[in-house]
Chains A and B, each alone.
Chain A
Amino acid sequence: MATLEKIISHFVFFLLCLLTFLLIFEAQVTIPFWLQPLGRMHPLMLHFPIVLIVLLVFLDLFRSHLEPASYEKIRKALLGFTAVTTSAAAIMGFFLSLEEDSTSSLMDLHKWIGVSVSYLVYLLLLIDKKILWYKITLYTSFVTLFFAGHFGAGLTHGTDFLTEPIARAQKKKITEATPIFEAFVDPILEAKCKSCHNAQKHKGALDMSTFALMNKGGENGPIWVEGNTAESELIIRALLPLEHEDHMPPEGKSQLSASELALLKSWIGAGADPEVSLKQLNPADSLFMLANQRMKSMEEEAPKARNDFDFASEELVSSLNNPYRTVTQETPLSPALDVNIYVKTAYKPEYLTELKKVKDQIVSLNLAYMPIKDEDMNIIANFGNLEELKLNNTEVSNAALTYLKNCTRLESLSLSGTAVDIGISEHLGALPAIKDVYLWNTGIDDGELTDLKNQWPEISFYHGYSANQESPIRLTAPLLKNKNKILAQGEKVVLEHKMPGVSIRYTTDGSDPDSISSALYESPIEVQSFTSVKTIAYKEGWLTSEARVYEFFVEGQPPVTAELINSPHNKYKGKGATSLIDLEKGNATGFNSKSWLGYQDKPLAVWVDFGENPPTLKQLVLSYGMNMGQYIMPPVQVEVWGGNDRQNIKLLKRIVPNQPAEYQPDGVMGIAMPMPASDFRYYQVKAFPMKKLPAWHSGKGEPGWVFVDELFFY
């Protein structure tokens, strides 16, 4: 007998070492599938310790009634049996716990209490002789066992399992006959008001614990006036601005939502009757609608079973993957496969047919944009565990749904952008699990959608955005296709708008284009020297775009060299005089670039040399930048002088450009300077910056800048 005892004690010690190890390295432990049945025997095994420990307690209680020798024999045998089964149950429980994806606090509680029972029982085995310690440990084990059992039962049956029948008896099911006050109004007040206005704590002398007390009101009188929301204190206060002292619930507390407030208002408006129920109301009544909506949202979803099928082999899954089809097992714990097929032009029918090899594992399938037809649904009909199917922008029609009746778990079906219409209504009944249907951009209009919703109240239909709800919005301006703002001789201006059906009109004289009389853009526009093209886009059902201005400079006669007379500001030297004749345009956001020369305290002055055989010229165009926020203004005066030697030149043209009277958008502009036809070798060009910025400018009185990037001669 002593040997058997020893063996048992050793065996239990061994089991506990194993358990301890497993607990310490829990994160790294994986349970092979063949061990899982062992874990699932936990519910069977755990009844042994429960019974045996209770027996040990009884044995201890009736100790005096037994002969010491037989008592000891029975106790030893029982204790050994208890110890073995307790630690075995603990290990099995541990295995079982690993099968869960996530741990809950209840599970943790049960686990650690269960584990302590097994250690305690081993302790019992060890202390054996010392009666007092034995008793203490035994009764501790008993109490611990009770809690382990209780929490364990909570895991399998739910925490409210014990109290449920009582709660169920108390909480009547809400039906159409339940008074609206009891079903919907009181719960709102309970959640939002009663934490301060209850039987124990009545702020403002208001106790809302019963309807009668509510009706009585508080120190400021009754909280509602039957049938008159405008004078009901409860509504008035809820509608006050949040920061108002009298606003209820007070700032910082959970506020009434819009729907809750609507329901309260409607109920008070209807007479604040504590007995009125949905059944007594007219369905067109606003109270009926609000209460009905609330009732629907309270109906809970049933929990779903999933992933109760086998894993597909790793080789099979990887063989199904190719650049255009991804088959993924999302987590190592679940056999569910997620399949996506991409790139329409690369699609082959076998991409779908080959999926039959994993027909049981496919849970989610995305075929959006693929050339899938109704007949292809034959294949999808085999996927019995499919939960989510996306057929957006495929070629399917209503008939596709008839194939899906075998997909008994299909919950979500996306049909946006397909040819389906209201006819799907009759097929929806064949899909037992369907919850969400996406129908944006299909043949179903808003009215038909309402019919669908009425016919299938348990399904959520998503219709998304429809343009009718909105007033027209503004189009964007036409875009310019030309890459370069300097056009070669003969090059034309090309405008475009990406929106189909848009008309473009434009002007070239600086006036604002309109959608009636201005030139209609039909073919590229011819331009000369400096032209600013002002353009708009319009289309029926849209607001006409804002006008957009594009400036163009046509390539002129190239000078041979240029030489600066005044050097530009140190920070804006560009490439020196070359910047002015290199046919590179600057832009109005980057005045630091090599294209620009910037002047502030002196004017730009430059010699331009046309060499030995000067051409005949009639016009100069000076291109300047504008960025008023950065004090960069148009020049106040521009002059062009000409002559055949540098000492002997005469003024050909002077222009004083109009100065802006308010902020204008940034841009690159041109000033055209017509001059008498001449064939001089040398020209001198001057452009003067503004000495003092005008009064409307934020930098009034400070000096302005002038930035020039190019000179064109024609």
Chain B
Amino acid sequence: MEKPFLEHHLNINRRHFLGKLGLGVGGVALGSMLAPGIFKGTTDEAESVPLGFKHFASKAKRIIYLFQNGAPSQLESFDYKPTLNKMFGEDLPASVRGEQRLTGMTANQSKFPLVGSKFAFSQYGQSGTWVSELFPNIAKITDDICVIKTMHTEAINHDPALTFMQTGAQVGNRPSMGAWLSYGLGSENKNLPAFCVLLSRGRGNGQGVYSKLWTNGFLDSIHQGVQFSSGEDPILYLNNPEGMDMGSRKKMLDQLEALNEMGYQEFGDPEIHAKIQQYEMAYRMQTAVPEITDISKEPDHIIKMYGPDCLVPGTYAANCLLARKLSESGVRFIQLYHQGWDQHGNLVGEMPLQAQDVDRASAALVTDLKQRGLLDETLVIWGGEFGRTNYCQGKLSDGNYGRDHHPRCYSLWMAGGGVKAGISYGETDEFGYNIIKDPVHVHDLHATILHLMGLNHEQLTFKHLGRRFRLTDVHGKLVNGILA
């Protein structure tokens, strides 16, 4: 009697199990209809939002990045540290420095004499933001900007730091920020490159910039930054040669396209299509660019606002004005580099010249975007690749000093594009050496910039060498405190 009983129970359980299993699988199957692609394995198409779309709604559409190349000192610009003036010449306490590695330029110094800013600071605007006297025009727009005082990075030398800031990796060959945005959001104006690069040089000690900073890396070459010339014609060879009219130019390009298309059919190299597109864009640029570079229609006071340097091609001011015009015409990412901020020595002599070059035009750009109703949708970023030490490099004299590279904290400001206006974010200690509140790592900044542009930094990926790459690698968290 016992055995049949047991069997009966077993039967029930088996039946029970299979029945439940069937139901469970049924539930999962029904659910999977709502998540198409879940059982297809992971392919490149598995991105939840297709390319060319924002992942979510956001204000910013474009970025103008005013890169201050060479690393301007935070202690003479936005991070006011009176303690350093009081402790003039005293040695940096070892407890403050901790384990910080030094560059080859100061590693052998026997003393690290603290030195405060030679330039006075005041608070400006409703926000009471501290700005040094070197930047009187930026001081006037403090209520439109957000100063981050607690940027920090991993590199201590220019090239890796610059590359890190622009591509999210210290080694080269990763796509730069502009290339990622071009890849993720595409171009707004099909008659201009989505990513433009403008260079200028100040009067201070300079560091080079290289095309690897605006590379497309492993992305399609259509996303590469287009470097503008600093001469009279920002884009070279745009005019037709003598004896060639637009009609025959178009005909020639059509034929060339047909030939290229044949090449594509034969080899299947996607670079051929990139090339065809570039030819076509170049053709349209022939009409679009002269409209943009023509400054004769700008009113007189625009020139006053940016400073008359904006009439001299290749200057920072001219590049700012051009950047506004390009941005106004839908260029997704405009990267400016202004060289000359590397004040290892003679900071007191050089920094005022550098500041004079950029102060008026940087402030003018923000005001100019604002008065056209464009500041909401344009994110302006101003800053360098790292900070500078609170102690003097080389001999400290009463009248002059220099500062070495410092990765642990530096200042950067942003305006528009959904960033909270009129705030200072984060705090450094009284020595201006360490961060005591709200640090912002370079990866965090990248994640936040992408967020402002409506992109989730974890979802904007590209599969290369068997791995999905991101601008933020495997790091980066949103800096919520600066989002409007």
Contact = CB atoms under 8 A, between A and B. Distances in A.
B189 interface: yes
Contacts of A413: 373
Interface in B34-83: 34-38, 48-50, 52-57, 61, 82-83
A330 B299 contact: no
Contacts of B304: 467, 470, 473
B23 A258 contact: no
A368 B27 contact: no
Given A368-B328, A499-B303, A438 B372 contact: yes
A290 interface: no
Interface stretch (B169-177, B215-223, B283-291): B283-291
Interface in A247-298: 252, 255-259
B476 interface: no
A340 B330 contact: yes
Contacts of B370: 462, 464
B371 A323 contact: no
Contacts of B26: 14, 17
Contact of A323 (B284, B308, B374): B284
A242 B427 CA distance: 14
B93 interface: no
A675 interface: no
B191 interface: yes
Contacts of B307: 473
B158 to A, nearest CB: 20
B125 interface: yes
B233 interface: no
A662 interface: no
Contact of B50 (A13, A256, A332, A470): A332
A500 B37 CA distance: 63
A13 B24 contact: yes
Contacts of B61: 338
Contact of B35 (A11, A29, A332): A29
A465 interface: yes
Interface stretch (A20-28, A184-192, A514-522): A20-28
A467 B301 contact: yes
The interface size bin for chain A is 35 or more
Q: Which of A20, A101, A336, A476 has the most CB of B within 10 A?
A: A476
Interface in A376-429: 388, 390, 392, 412-414, 416-417
A333 interface: yes
Contacts of A344: 291
Contacts of B50: 332
Given A35-B34, A369-B291, A476-B311, A10 B24 contact: no
A30 B190 contact: no
A436 interface: yes
A235 to B, nearest CB: 16
Nearest to B436: A252
Interface string B283-327: 010011001000110011101110111011000000000000000
Given A465-B301, A473-B307, A473-B308, A31 B34 contact: yes
A221 B410 CA distance: 42
Contacts of A412: 373, 376
B23 A467 contact: no
Contact of B291 (A19, A343, A438, A465): A343
A369 B364 CA distance: 20
B19 interface: yes
B288 A467 contact: no
B367 A464 contact: yes
A342 interface: yes
A463 interface: yes
A524 interface: no
Contacts of A390: 372-373
A18 interface: yes
B27 A15 contact: yes
Given A30-B35, A323-B190, A499-B308, A10 B19 contact: yes
Interface in B125-157: 125-128
Contact of A414 (B284, B330, B373): B373
Given A331-B454, A342-B329, A499-B311, A467 B53 contact: no
A330 B454 contact: yes
B49 A18 contact: no
Nearest to B50: A332
B45 to A, nearest CB: 12
B104 interface: no
B82 to A, nearest CB: 5
Contact of B287 (A252, A255, A346, A497): A346
Nearest to B280: A323
A102 B480 CA distance: 14
A259 B303 contact: no
Contacts of A16: 27
Contact of B82 (A243, A332, A462): A243
Contacts of A241: 82
B11 interface: no
Nearest to A497: B311
Contacts of A463: 371
Contact of A326 (B189, B301, B427): B189
A163 to B, nearest CB: 26
A464 B311 contact: no
Contacts of B312: 476, 479, 498
Interface string B172-192: 000000000000000011110
A475 interface: yes
Contacts of A101: 56-57
Nearest to A21: B31
Given A416-B373, A465-B368, A13 B48 contact: no
A18 B30 CA distance: 7
B287 A14 contact: no
B430 to A, nearest CB: 8
Nearest to B296: A500
Given A330-B53, A465-B301, A259 B284 contact: no
B32 interface: yes
A409 B48 CA distance: 31
A258 B329 contact: no
A161 interface: no
A464 B329 CA distance: 20
Interface in A323-359: 323-324, 326, 328-334, 336, 338, 340, 342-346
A21 B27 contact: yes
Interface in A215-261: 241-243, 252, 255-259
Contacts of B23: 10-11, 13-14, 17
B371 A465 contact: yes
B240 interface: no
Contacts of B38: 25, 28
Nearest to B36: A30
Interface in B60-118: 61, 82-83, 86
A466 interface: yes
B54 A331 contact: yes
Given A28-B35, A332-B49, A18 B57 contact: no
B53 A331 contact: yes
Contact of A324 (B126, B191, B372, B427): B191
Given A330-B53, A333-B57, A346-B287, A21 B373 contact: no
User: 4 smallest A-B Cβ distances: which pairs?
Assistant: A464-B371, A17-B27, A440-B371, A414-B373
Given A326-B190, A330-B54, A475-B308, 17 more contacts: A16-B27, A17-B23, A17-B28, A22-B34, A28-B35, A29-B31, A29-B35, A243-B86, A342-B330, A440-B371, A462-B373, A463-B371, A464-B367, A467-B305, A470-B304, A476-B312, A497-B311
8 contacts: A18-B27, A18-B31, A328-B188, A330-B454, A331-B54, A332-B53, A438-B372, A470-B304
Interface of B: 19-20, 23-28, 30-32, 34-38, 48-50, 52-57, 61, 82-83, 86, 123, 125-128, 188-191, 284, 287-288, 291, 295-296, 299-301, 303-305, 307-309, 311-312, 328-330, 364, 367-368, 370-374, 376, 427, 454
